[in-house]
Structure 1
Amino acid sequence: MSLKKKILVGLAIILIGIQFFQPLQNQSGEVKDTHIEKVYAVPQNVKAVLQTSCYDCHSNNTLYPWYSRIQPGAWFMAKHIKEGKEELNFSDFGSYSTRKQRNKFRSMSNQVNDGTMPLNSYTLIHRNAVLSLEEKQVLTKWFDAMADSLQ
């Protein structure tokens, strides 16, 4: 067997082998009392956008597509979700201090307004998560109003 074939066989074995090592999924199945929707009256139009464009990476319940079980992509997704939840977790939003909540609302408004959220790497695959101008305005208006109410 040539060196090239040995390398290809070795890579195939590695790719098949890593499929057996799946990360834990981010699915709690419950809505905690600290969830933003239990702490604040979230208008339906805001809630719909948050569910479509934000919750997969920023809550305790991710909706996983079929490709999320294929390695090494699943590891990348798990890392991405972990980092997203460390930055902002809508499931734990009510446990944040008032100051932190106000700062998060301001930050969310700025990031949605300047187009840095949702991430391009997410919207590349999840086309329905791309925010329209109207959705950006709905979110930033509500985020700004919430930040102002927490003065």
Structure 2
Amino acid sequence: MKKSTFKTLALVIVLVLVIIQFFGIEKNNNPIASKNAIEEHYSVPPKIQQLLKTSCYDCHSNNTTYPWYSNVQPVKWWLDDHIRDGKKHLNFDEFNTYTIKKKLHKLDEVVETINKDEMPLTSYTLIHDNAKLSATDKKEVEAWVNELKKEIR
């Protein structure tokens, strides 16, 4: 590759990166607690609530805590996609809008995904080390889910 071609390509890449900074997203920040939130309708012990907030709520609620790098494109788009996808699968702030059957299914999925180490995502725990769930955390969440399922039925 000629030096002038490389310089032109580098300039185009830098220009594209600058231009995309002007394309934003609607952030997932709703400071008002939802009346449909799981904790508004069911018993969620403080320890479990803290685990959910630390390990799940950034992608599975209506209120994300955004890190500094979320202001840089294309990271902003990537995070937005993860959050939208997470909320599509399970939104703890809209949990009470689900049917009983869907609630029970989602709770089964919570246990399954944490026990298979599918959640929280590795890409999330690389940066949010405190979001990793220990074996004890997983057992406590599973015990809570089992109690909650009895309450829902």
- Distance apart, 1:93 and its partner CA: 0.2
Structure-to-structure mapping, 1:1-151, within 5 angstroms:
2-151=4-153
Q: How far apart in 2 are the matches of 1:147 and 1:41?
A: 11
Q: How far apart in 2 are the matches of 1:74 and 1:107?
A: 27
The letter for the 1-side match of 2:150 is D
The letter for the 2-side match of 1:32 is S
- Distance apart, 1:149 and its partner CA: 3.2
- Distance apart, 1:113 and its partner CA: 1.5
- Distance apart, 1:150 and its partner CA: 2.9
TM-score normalised to structure 2 length: 0.95
Q: How far apart in 2 are the matches of 1:17 and 1:69?
A: 14
TM-score normalised to structure 1 length: 0.96
Q: How far apart in 2 are the matches of 1:106 and 1:135?
A: 16
Provide the aligned length of Structure 1 versus Structure 2: 151
Which structure 2 segments of 5+ residues have no match? Answer: none
Runs of 4+ in 1 over 4 A off after TM superposition: none
The letter for the 1-side match of 2:23 is F
Percentage of matched positions with identical amino acids: 40
Moved more, 15-24 or 42-51: 15-24
Moved more, 57-66 or 100-109: 100-109
Q: How far apart in 1 are the matches of 2:84 and 2:33?
A: 18
Q: How far apart in 1 are the matches of 2:143 and 2:132?
A: 18
Q: Is the 8 A contact 1:109 1:144 kept in 2?
A: no
Q: How far apart in 2 are the matches of 1:33 and 1:118?
A: 25
Q: Is the 8 A contact 1:34 1:91 kept in 2?
A: yes
Instruction: Calculate the aligned-residue CA RMSD, in Å.
Output: 1.1
The letter for the 2-side match of 1:121 is S
Q: How far apart in 1 are the matches of 2:123 and 2:149?
A: 28
Q: How far apart in 1 are the matches of 2:54 and 2:111?
A: 17
User: Matched residue of 1:2: which SS?
Assistant: helix
